[in-house]
Structure 1
């Protein structure tokens, strides 16, 4: 809405008619005092102000408007038929007017200027609304960010505390494992020693007694192996830095360690060219010792064991990945011609204390493959197996050549 302020009624009527012909909404005031009262109650987009008025002239009114936060941005066009000198025009601009027009007024020029200042005022209002919205949005986001930072800081503190507690408990658990291992192994060793002494010194001719003694010794040996395997399984959670590991040397050492059993079973072991990778050597040794040991253990009667170990460099961490010279992973297969197993039970063979074979026929603690799986996963790798009962088994490992240990 436009406010016309003039103390002469005829001037108001003429201006109002010009503006209303262009569909502009108009309000009027016949004095500065009346104008101020209306401006405080209503919102105006433009004021056309006569300069020469009794009591309070147009300059005084505009100075008051300029000092008020609510009204200082309303554009004011001064109109004057008397005060045409340069000093009055300058004063009009200094007090806050946007234009100073002398009478007689050119209606077309007046309308053009009125529409221009209305457009500018509306655009400024829109910008102000956008600016206010942005300011509010920034304030909201700032508060959200502060709240988020507080939440993150609190959560981080909780996680640090929990991690410290976990590390402490893990350390305590490792110490406990060592103590328990020692305390459990010691009486088992004494049982073995005393039973062997009884056998060698007092039961030389007692065949039935010797059988019971042999069974007791084997049970004690199984208990010792179980304690050792449990200790090894618990130690896998400790942090050990990886290093360059040549799997060829590790497998060569394991084959040497199994020399007696290999000769006894007349086994053949074929080892292809294995990769050098970033790993924990002692843990890689455990994996291949378990796999090769199982292939030598679970053999068919009257069939000489044949074990083949091969590897390929592959493109991705997948059992079905294509070979690639530039690949970042290796696929290793340990294949044998032993008793195998039913693939329906594939998940069970990697679980602790799970065995698919009769313990009286095949000695074992049921922990070896669980240890192997945990080690491979700790090295960011994969392990699985393929088999048909009584037709051998193939264990497949996927390992990264370079990696950070979990």
Structure 2
């Protein structure tokens, strides 16, 4: 809205009609005092003001507006028929006016200037609104960042404390597992010794008694294996520094341990060149022992169990990653032609104490694959399996390569 200030009613009417013809909203005031009152209550985008008026003249009104924070940016055009000398024009600009027009006025030029100043005022308002919005956004973000930094610091401190507590508890748990392992193994060993003595000395002629004793011995052996496996699982929590490991050497040591079982089952083992990785050798040995041991154990009724251990360098840490000789990961596959399993149970096989098979037929504790997964996870790797019942299984391992 434009405010016209003039003490002569006829001038106001003429100028108002000219502006309204161009769809410009207009308000009027007939004195400097009235103009100030209206300006303090209403936001105007432009003021067209006569210079010479009774009471407060135009110069005095503009000077007052210039000193007020709220009104100092409102553009003012002086319009005068009497004060047309240069000294008055200079004074008009010095007081803060944006234009000084002398009468008679070219209405087209006046309308052009009025529209220009209205547009500039609107742009300034938009810029100010944008600036205020940005300032508010910056303030909000700064507060959020400050709060986030405080929360991060608090959370970091909390995590450090929790980590220290966890390390202490892990240490205590390892000590406890060692003690429990010893304390449990000792009575089991004695049970095995005394049961065998009873069998040899007193039950040779009693077939039913011998059967009961053999069952007891097997149960004791299963308990001993369970304790050994639990101890191995608990040891995985300890911090051990990795070292450069040739997996070919590790694999050959494992196959050497299985020499007797491989020969007895008439198994065929095929291997390709395995990579060198950064690992804890004893733990990688456990992984191969569990996978190859399972392949031999679950060979089923096949006359010639076949186990293939292959490796390839791949581009990414992904089971389906393409082969890439310059890749930073290796994919190791242990494949057999045994009884296999249904993949709907894939999530279960890597959970401790989970077994998919009858433990009377296939002895085991259900810990081996859980140990393998925990070891691979600790080595920043992945492990999964693919299988179908009766068609064997393939265990796939992804590890960072050197």
Alignment map for 1:127-166 (pairs within 5 Å): 127-166=127-166
Runs of 5+ consecutive residues of structure 1 not aligned to the other structure: none
State the match for 1:312 in structure 2: 311
State the match for 1:50 in structure 2: 50
Q: Once the 2 structures are TM-superposed, how far is the Cα of residue 310 of structure 1 from its aligned partner?
A: 2.9
State the match for 2:396 in structure 1: 397
1:8-46 Cα offsets, whole Å, 9 max, x none, are 444444444444444444333333223222322333332
Q: Distance in 2 between matches of 1:323 and 1:31?
A: 89
Asked if 1 retains the 8 angstrom alpha-carbon contact of 2:387 and 2:394, the reply is: yes
The alignment status of 1:240 with 2:250, answered yes or no, reads no
Asked if 1 retains the 8 angstrom alpha-carbon contact of 2:243 and 2:281, the reply is: yes
Asked if 2 retains the 8 angstrom alpha-carbon contact of 1:291 and 1:334, the reply is: no
Classify the secondary structure of the residue corresponding to 1:38: helix
Classify the secondary structure of the residue corresponding to 1:179: helix
State the match for 2:382 in structure 1: 381
Give the direction of change, closer, same or farther, for the CA distance of 1:27–1:397 in structure 2 (3 Å limit): closer
Asked if 2 retains the 8 angstrom alpha-carbon contact of 1:318 and 1:398, the reply is: no
Asked if 2 retains the 8 angstrom alpha-carbon contact of 1:276 and 1:401, the reply is: no
Q: Once the 2 structures are TM-superposed, how far is the Cα of residue 58 of structure 1 from its aligned partner?
A: 1.9
State the match for 1:335 in structure 2: 336
Give the direction of change, closer, same or farther, for the CA distance of 1:307–1:375 in structure 2 (3 Å limit): farther
Asked if 2 retains the 8 angstrom alpha-carbon contact of 1:204 and 1:210, the reply is: no
Q: Distance in 2 between matches of 1:258 and 1:68?
A: 95
State the match for 1:279 in structure 2: 279
Asked if 1 retains the 8 angstrom alpha-carbon contact of 2:265 and 2:305, the reply is: no
Give the direction of change, closer, same or farther, for the CA distance of 1:110–1:320 in structure 2 (3 Å limit): closer
Q: Distance in 1 between matches of 2:96 and 2:62?
A: 7
Q: Distance in 1 between matches of 2:13 and 2:366?
A: 107
Asked if 1 retains the 8 angstrom alpha-carbon contact of 2:242 and 2:279, the reply is: yes
State the match for 1:38 in structure 2: 38
Classify the secondary structure of the residue corresponding to 1:134: helix
Q: Once the 2 structures are TM-superposed, how far is the Cα of residue 258 of structure 1 from its aligned partner?
A: 3.2
1:256-278 Cα offsets, whole Å, 9 max, x none, are 23344455556554433333233
Q: Once the 2 structures are TM-superposed, how far is the Cα of residue 73 of structure 1 from its aligned partner?
A: 1.7
Asked if 2 retains the 8 angstrom alpha-carbon contact of 1:385 and 1:394, the reply is: yes
Asked if 2 retains the 8 angstrom alpha-carbon contact of 1:331 and 1:399, the reply is: yes
State the match for 1:189 in structure 2: 189
So what's the TM-score if we normalise by structure 1? 0.81
Give the direction of change, closer, same or farther, for the CA distance of 1:22–1:211 in structure 2 (3 Å limit): closer
Q: Distance in 2 between matches of 1:90 and 1:247?
A: 93
Asked if 1 retains the 8 angstrom alpha-carbon contact of 2:3 and 2:27, the reply is: yes
C-alpha RMSD over aligned residues: 3.5
Give the direction of change, closer, same or farther, for the CA distance of 1:81–1:351 in structure 2 (3 Å limit): closer
Worse overlay, 262-271 or 181-190: 262-271
Q: Once the 2 structures are TM-superposed, how far is the Cα of residue 95 of structure 1 from its aligned partner?
A: 0.9
Q: Distance in 1 between matches of 2:161 and 2:321?
A: 42
Classify the secondary structure of the residue corresponding to 1:71: coil
